[in-house]
Amino acid sequence: MMTIPVHLYISFAVLVAFNVIRLQASQACDRGVVTGRNYLMYDLNPAEGFNLRRDVYIRIAVFVKRLQQHGDWVLVLPPWGPLPHWKSKDIGEQLKLPWKKFFNVESLVKYVTVVELSDLLSDKKTLLVNQLIYLQHFQDGWNDEKWEEKYKFEECIKKPPYWETKGGLVKGWFWGYENIEAKNVSCLSFQGHYKKLLPILSKHSKTSGKVVMIDRGEIPLHDDYGGVNYWKARRSMRYSDHLYSLANQFRREFLESDDERDDTLLPSDWRDESVELKAKGGNYVCGHLRRQDFLYGRASDVPSLEFAAKQLEKIALLLDVQNIFVASDGTNQEMEKLRSYLSPKFRLVVYLPSFETRKEILDGGVAIVEQIICSRARHFIGSFESTFSFRIQEEREILGFPSNSTFNRFCADGNNSCEQPAKWKKVM
């Protein structure tokens, strides 16, 4: 039996609707209405860190890809900063940072259409958000009952961080931009996967030029966790050329490592990557040693510096390498202490960029350079349940490292057999 592919049908209908609406929309242009395509903006709970935010990008990118079957949608990249972990005060304010500072936006676009918020704003006086949806968890959670997907527009449980203007519109922090306003905020109690939002969003597909914003975008779950789409979106998240080149320069200079030697070369387009990639990695091991808040909340999973040194030495000895690279949010004193616990046979290498470099690439860039270096090491040991470590493990999975060199973690003192991280195998 012959059937008409549904997606063709829908996009045809949308195209027709477009031409009709475009006229009206363009008349309203100078009042801040965007013409043509629909735009999805999103933000997160301000407390979320850089690495979790990258995970939420994957959730929303996969969702927008699906939404595009219902209309011409563009994902708006929320500027970076300020983030609670970006503490360097000497390098100036870290806010309104575009994605291109850290990521390769041309590469993102090869998975789903995105635009930097600053580019969307560049040609207008005011950006008007037609609907702002503030997500919240259901007040009563799900107790011990069966977990089910559900959502409901209802009263805001806590007052959302928005306020009304004299003109009856809504303003908020909006990344520090004064010229964004929303028509209306509605609170949506939500439990489930991103795709559950499809009916709400696709409603707007019927007209063009709509801007919808979702706040608390960390609440919905991945639609395709660990699946093909997850990995496509993840693979599209290449870092900026500049950060790769800083990491590569460091590897050459201090670790005698480069992509040719170490079999860590990727095709320039992530869509050309193959499942068969096999990485060897540089002649060094890497440990990601989370300190700071992890020392308090997670004492039973975080090693002392002395025990961390033991674990690093053990693997370096086994693999017969001398260089031990450590990425850490610890202090320089902590790193010196770590060095003192290592046998002189081994060389501890840390990334200490100059003031000029830090001012240029900021805290986020420093973190990424360390992540790139760790993702190309012969062997990696991460910190228990650190999203910073997870991003490195994904990168190593993409490069094709053997699992036993990637899915490892430091054990707390006295424990030589703590539970190791789940193996997140890439699917292509």
Ligand X SMILES: Nc1nc2c(ncn2[C@@H]2O[C@H](COP(=O)(O)OP(=O)(O)OP(=O)(O)O)[C@@H](O)[C@H]2O)c(=O)[nH]1
| Catalytic residue set | 48
**Residue 56 vs 201, nearer CB to ligand X:** 56
CB of 374 to ligand X, least distance (A): 8
Contact present, 387 and 49 (Cβ < 8 Å): yes
Site for ligand NAG, rule CB under 6 A:
153, 183-184, 186, 379, 402, 404, 415, 418-419
Q: Considering only CA atoms, which of 108, 116, 97 is closest in space to residue 41?
A: 116
- What does the DSSP assignment read for 54-72? HHHHHHHHHHHHHHGGGS-
Binding status of residue 43 toward ligand X by CB under 6 A = no
Q: Considering only CA atoms, which of 370, 401, 395 is closest in space to residue 262?
A: 401
Q: Is residue 202 classed exposed, middle or buried when 0-12, 13-18 and 19+ CB atoms within 10 A define those classes?
A: middle
**Residue 186 vs 332, nearer CB to ligand NAG:** 186
Binding status of residue 329 toward ligand X by CB under 6 A = yes
**Residue 164 vs 256, nearer CB to ligand NAG:** 164
Binding status of residue 366 toward ligand X by CB under 6 A = yes
**Residue 101 vs 379, nearer CB to ligand NAG:** 379
Residues 6+ apart with CB under 8 A from 376: 247, 251, 257, 259, 262, 264, 279, 281, 282, 399
Which member of 43, 181, 301, 370 binds ligand X (CB under 6 A)?
370
Residues 249-268 that bind ligand X (CB under 6 A): none
SS3 136: strand
Q: Residue 209 — φ and ψ, nearest 5°? A: 75, 15
Contact present, 368 and 239 (Cβ < 8 Å): yes
Residues 303-322 that bind ligand X (CB under 6 A): none
Q: Is the peptide bond before 353 cis (omega within 30 degrees of 0)?
A: no
Binding status of residue 409 toward ligand X by CB under 6 A = no
**Residue 182 vs 289, nearer CB to ligand NAG:** 182
Binding window for ligand X (CB under 6 A); candidates: 12-20, 46-54, 225-233, 406-414: 46-54
Binding status of residue 387 toward ligand X by CB under 6 A = yes
DSSP 8-state assignment for residue 129: E
CB of 290 to ligand X, least distance (A): 5
Please give the residue whose beta carbon sits closest to ligand X in the complex.
49
Sites of contact with ligand X (CB under 6 A): 48-52, 85, 288, 290, 327-329, 363, 366-367, 370, 386-388
